[in-house]
Amino acid sequence: MMKGWLGMTNQSSTKMKINIGPQHPSTHGVLRLVLELDGEIIKSCEPVIGYLHRGMEKMAENRTYLQYLPTVDRIDYLGGFFDAYAFCDAVENLAQIELTKRTKYIRILTMEMNRLSSHLLWLGTFLLDMGATSPLFYTFRDREEILSLFEELTGQRMMYNYYTFGGVRHDVSNIWLRKVAEFVKKMPKKIKDYENIITDNPIFVTRTKDIGVISKHAALQYSITGPNLRASGINVDYRKQNPYLVYDKLDFEVPTAENGDSFDRYALRIAEMRECLKIISQCVAWLKVNPEEVISSVKQPMLKVPEGEFISNVEAPRGVCSCYVKSDGTGRPYRVKWRTGSYYAVQILPKLLENSIYPDLMAIFGSLDVILPEVDR
């Protein structure tokens, strides 16, 4: 007779159904997983979503474009700038609003800082999920500096409401830019510190290597995007492939990994943080010497968007964020649809978790960087 896990015979094993979440500290919000366990082995997993559904798409139909704009930051509260940009970009394309070059650089600067803060939070909580407490404090210390900079610029730490149609709300000052430059200067050493703690840590490596492998084929089948896709060895980045704003004028690399396991997803995000710093410092250098108007001349509350439809794709920290806007020529959107990266990362979970052991659950789920407000919208 075959011996199963922990020496239990197959005959005596009974399947057990357990619920994880919706209120669970390491599900990053309100994800509920219905697991079927055989001893410690996960036999099947069913994600149940919708606990954080706020009807973002229905809300849009009852509000003017300006009234809807502050709410889109809440779709992904760790990457508010990306959602705001996706919506602004769609509306600007429909209404044929031109951006000044300085506006484009400010948007890139804020988005990349946002990506960095989002990855920092992910790094801390991912390690926390796996039982390592101290990295959380280090990453939150550095994230706090970015949030303070954002607070100084926009008045908000997380939901910024900073972009407007055709511009941004305030210009960046040279003093603020100097603070950003100082922050960028000391960050590489901090990232090195994280790597010293984490990358060669034998416990971390054994828990993440060859765990939760997403093959190239599966990644495409399940429409996985962003860092999770690049960790599987597919080099796709909308910033390079279909450059928006002025990404084509900036010098940066798109890191990729090969195996598509949890460790690669970690290593890739660390590499992406370094690229963020590169982009930020280029933007700061450009903004220091090129003053220009950034306040939009468009009359925002009365904005009427001509009939048409548009879909804008943005490379957000958790994958491609697409915003579809259809206008019927009035002051309110006819239909808004959001496509976010986490939504599809949740969908691949059952496949990744099948026949893995229970302690791997957080090593897999955490590495996907799922955030639930983005899933439920």
Partner 1 sequence: MNFDDFKMMNNADGSFNKVLVEPAELCVVLSYLKNNAEFAFDRLNTIIAVDLGVEVGKFELIYDLHSIETGKTARISVIIDRNSPHIPSVVEIFKSAYFDECEIYDMFGIVFDKNSDLKRLLMPQSWIGYPLRKDYVQNDERLAWND
Binding site for partner 1 (CB under 8 A): 49-50, 53, 55, 57-58, 62, 93, 220-223, 234, 236, 241-242, 308-311, 313, 320, 322, 324, 326, 334-335, 337, 339, 343-344, 346-347, 376-377
Q: CB of 11: closest distance to partner 1 in angstroms?
A: 31
β-bridge mates for residue 35, sequence order: 18, 45
CB 120 → partner 1: shortest distance, Å? 28
The residue among 87 and 343 lying less far from partner 1, judged by its C-beta, is 343
Kind plus residue range of the DSSP H or E element containing 37: strand 32-38
- For residues 1 and 11, the answer to whether their CB atoms sit within 8 Å is yes
Report how far Cα 231 is from the mean position of its chain's Cα atoms: 15
CB of 33: closest distance to partner 1 in angstroms? Answer: 15
- Beta carbons within 10 angstroms of residue 310's beta carbon: 17
The answer for residues whose C-beta is within 8 angstroms of residue 280's C-beta and 6 or more apart is 109, 112, 113, 116, 180, 184
- Alpha carbon distance 281, 286 (integer Å): 9
Least distance in Å: CB of 218 to partner 1?
Answer: 8
Pick between residue 125 and residue 313 the one whose CB is nearest to partner 1.
313
DSSP symbols for 286-346: HHHH-----S--S-STT--PPSEEEEEEEEETTEEEEEEEEE-SSSSEEEEEEE-HHHHHH
CB 338 → partner 1: shortest distance, Å? 9
- Looking at the Cβ atoms of 292 and 309, the one nearer to partner 1 is 309
Instruction: Please say which residue, 58 or 186, places its beta carbon nearer to partner 1.
Output: 58
Q: Measured from the CB of residue 298, what is the shortest distance to partner 1 in angstroms? A: 18
Tokens of 92: 């600007």
Tell me whether residue 60 or residue 276 sits nearer to partner 1 (CB atom). Answer: 60
Residue (101 or 216) nearer to partner 1, CB: 216
CB of 235 to partner 1, least distance (A): 9
Phi, psi of 268 (to 5 degrees): -65, -40
Question: Which residue number, 150 or 222, has a Cβ lying nearer to partner 1?
Answer: 222
Residue 179 CB coordination number (10 Å)? 17
If phi > 0 it is left, if psi is from -120 to 50 it is alpha, else beta; for residue 368 that is alpha
